[in-house]
Chain A
């Protein structure tokens, strides 16, 4: 039987506010354990939360950018459960009146555009972190993350493949980065996704029983977890088993998922309105002010790159997937780089390097790429050497001119030095020389390559080919 997969995603994003959602503690990542906390975020008796207005603003920005309706009246609720990383034994979140709802985002998979519905976006506080086993006797708690503001973006079950799931998360992440609501660093956990997945025979309208995999924090794990879960469910059904509604833990290193708890053991969170906070009431003016001040979205930049920079659509789309890369590109262009040349270096060498180092951003500014391009344009270094310089820039963050100087990579324009190399090559490769002299003019390419190699890629290519032709012609 043919099956169809149905996926809905919940994405948690840590907002880029400087302070926590209900107190003045810093949200900075890292830091000595339990140094970014105070009586309020550790839930000491008698303390009260006060809403950080920046959190509401960022959440509204996200709502607008994801085409949601923004509620004029919403409120915070308490979600009650016991866990040591949750010092109040409830999480302040939103239940029945979220800040944003009924949005959508368009994704592109295999050249086809598809619209994914967004059910809601709500605000909540993050919990602390348990540190297990380091001392053998038990677990310790770090409350630094406690009270860091989050938004949860809940999609409709509109996604029909693991690739679509990945594309959706990429698109949402890119938009959130563009509007400055979060850095969305997945390695640091500032963007995590829960995958809700079920399968059903093609043509069946009713959804199958779904499972949930929580806290996936890389595109690769989202893709793999969804593919694996899809296969697992189909195989269960094919073997005559039924799917149990449950939470499963995805182990990315083993490439397998494990059952965590079933619905029967599910929490009753006993949601009720948070009495310590006043409802969030917004006027049309407040919402439209945020709408007007919303930073440029990826679509705006795609249009700008095509129309103003005359880039091909392919380049424009690829450059704008990540705000980091797009910002880098714009820095390079602003610093005088030719847009197409900058685009080529980014899509080629730089993306390769980012993959190789598993980085989310290029570790230097775009103006350095502009400098590198101008070195090539001025003939100071060759195209080939430029790639080499770029990877050294990536490693050392040094200025390209400094690298060229230190590593002695400038083009060799010394005629006598090149002449000597050419004479040696002619002497060593008599067959190619004879081929050329016999009328096979293409053989010169091989000889030029040999000289280039001899010069370690630094010989001025125009000069080499002129000198080589002169010398070969003398042999005729």
Chain B
């Protein structure tokens, strides 16, 4: 059931919060041994909170659309005194001394945290195979990946082991797993949701966002989590009361752009067909869809991997085995302690990015790589701005393929990186984008449609997504998941 539906039942007292939370833990018990979406559960706390929140409902006090709703978050958002691992051996036993702003906000909304979700180590990856702890399976086909890095968050919603989840998206980490798992994933404009307490991967690209069953639910979660935070200087002052404001507005005047480059090479034929069908559906609604050029799309991946790895190399330098986290037992001096703690505590992909980023920032290479990437970033932004002068949204595929087999790409990082081709430029330009289900391939695996909007225009992309969702047969797609 969706947030909307459950909210009705909770308010009418058709169901009690405790029962609902209990039901979800039963589902987790039954399904998660196969899916492995959760890293940790906080059942005692959740059951305790359920009683308190039921009290609120009984007194009709401080009720929000999320009150009493069971949810879960990616394990890179800090929860006070309870483990926040980032999917890494480095932080296996790390208990933050504070709550992330989103955790505080969700708590005050009255939603109930069930547990923390699996992810690629430090959010680096697109399959959740880089977790130091477990491989999450795709609920549609347990031999396949759920996507990543928020694979746990997407699989969890697809298998209905939480009503909604939060993921984080640095280069597609919310949208691509949402696409692979047939759920809705929204990456808001950079600065919409506070990053305070989100363990940083690439600070200028990271953004938290909801993974939900419906477009409406995504707007509801955004309402509860967005807003200026005095602890995050990059959070936006913009104050939008209701992100779902435009959902039911007339869609007729909307104009959509379809980048030719997104449907050219590298895309699977079946994904392409689903996208063309979706475009067709929009046209049937009377929406103008026109092909445009996004010429710099080719450079986006290179720029993305330089910028994100450079920032990561600095952000992850603090894991040195001294203050918290993994501490090697094998050292005789300070340098060895650093080297061995980091060599033993980090996985291969994280090390690869740290090396890449360190190299890109090194004196003598800075201008050729990092500085160049920043210039490309500006050009990509400009190119998007230009398109948004004429169009309300850009539509295309979220990922070039549907979910692939576990192990299929994990030996070839470059091929894995190419899977980010449609998502990274959105982060580079700081724009909002949503992935919604738009069909199945012949293996009955979901395909995702990506809708990109201009900065802080979440209301419009939600409107565009909602219009498609209402007429498509894919709403409630998740019922078919295992």
Contact = CB atoms under 8 A, between A and B. Distances in A.
A276 B204 CA distance: 7
A60 B259 CA distance: 48
B234 A276 contact: yes
Contact of A276 (B84, B91, B233, B334): B233
Given A44-B98, A84-B322, A84-B334, A275 B203 contact: yes
Contact of A82 (B91, B202, B317): B317
A48 B363 contact: no
A275 B233 contact: no
Given A39-B97, A275-B311, A87 B323 contact: yes
A141 B97 CA distance: 19
Nearest to A84: B322
A345 interface: no
Contact of A48 (B196, B310, B318): B196
A87 B322 CA distance: 9
A147 to B, nearest CB: 14
Contacts of B317: 80, 82, 88-90
Nearest to B90: A45
Contacts of B111: none
A45 B84 contact: yes
A45 B203 contact: no
B230 A45 contact: no
Contacts of B324: 44
Contacts of A277: 233-234
Nearest to A88: B318
Interface in B57-105: 76-78, 84, 86, 91, 94, 96-98, 100
Interface in B96-153: 96-98, 100
Contacts of A42: 323
Interface in B356-371: 358, 361-363, 366, 370
Nearest to A79: B314
Given A50-B230, A276-B233, A87 B318 contact: yes
A272 B334 CA distance: 26
Nearest to A47: B196
Given A39-B97, A48-B233, A270-B358, A82 B199 contact: no
B200 interface: yes
A290 interface: no
Contact of B361 (A39, A45, A272): A272
A80 B334 CA distance: 17
Given A45-B78, A50-B231, A272 B310 contact: yes
B385 interface: no
Nearest to B77: A46
A56 to B, nearest CB: 13
A44 B370 contact: no
Contacts of B91: 45
A202 B197 CA distance: 59
B370 A272 contact: yes
Contacts of A88: 317-318
A46 B203 contact: no
B232 interface: yes
B96 A272 contact: no
B46 interface: no
A206 to B, nearest CB: 24
A270 B323 contact: no
A49 interface: yes
Contacts of A43: 318, 323
B94 A90 contact: no
A78 B313 CA distance: 12
Contacts of B197: 46-47
A80 B310 CA distance: 11
Contact of B233 (A39, A45, A84, A278): A278
A131 to B, nearest CB: 14
B327 interface: no
B297 to A, nearest CB: 23
Nearest to B364: A268
B334 A48 contact: no
Contact of A50 (B77, B94, B233): B233
B198 interface: yes
A25 to B, nearest CB: 14
A46 B325 CA distance: 14
Nearest to B325: A45
A43 B325 CA distance: 13
Contacts of A87: 318, 323
B417 interface: no
A288 B281 CA distance: 59
A44 B322 contact: no
A278 B233 CA distance: 7
Interface in B267-317: 310-311, 313-314, 317
B233 A49 contact: yes
Contacts of A271: 361
Contacts of B199: 45-46
Contacts of A46: 76-78, 84, 96, 100, 195-200
A270 B231 contact: no
B320 interface: yes
Contacts of A376: none
A44 B96 contact: yes
Contact of A80 (B100, B232, B314): B314
A467 interface: no
A45 B96 contact: yes
Contact of A45 (B94, B204, B322): B94
Contacts of B361: 80, 270-272
B310 to A, nearest CB: 6
B474 interface: no
A306 interface: no
B314 A276 contact: no
A421 interface: no
A433 to B, nearest CB: 82
Nearest to B334: A84
Contacts of A362: none
A139 to B, nearest CB: 9
B231 A268 contact: no
A223 B111 CA distance: 65
Which of A39, A44, A87: most chain B CB closer than 10 A? A44
Given A44-B324, A272-B361, 17 more contacts: A39-B98, A44-B96, A44-B98, A45-B84, A45-B96, A45-B199, A45-B318, A46-B199, A47-B196, A48-B195, A78-B314, A82-B338, A87-B323, A270-B362, A270-B363, A275-B311, A277-B234
22 contacts: A39-B97, A43-B323, A44-B96, A45-B78, A46-B76, A46-B197, A47-B98, A50-B230, A78-B314, A80-B313, A82-B320, A82-B338, A84-B322, A84-B334, A89-B318, A90-B317, A268-B363, A275-B203, A276-B200, A276-B234, A278-B233, A278-B234
The 6 closest A-B pairs by CB, nearest first: A89-B317, A275-B204, A270-B361, A275-B203, A45-B199, A46-B197
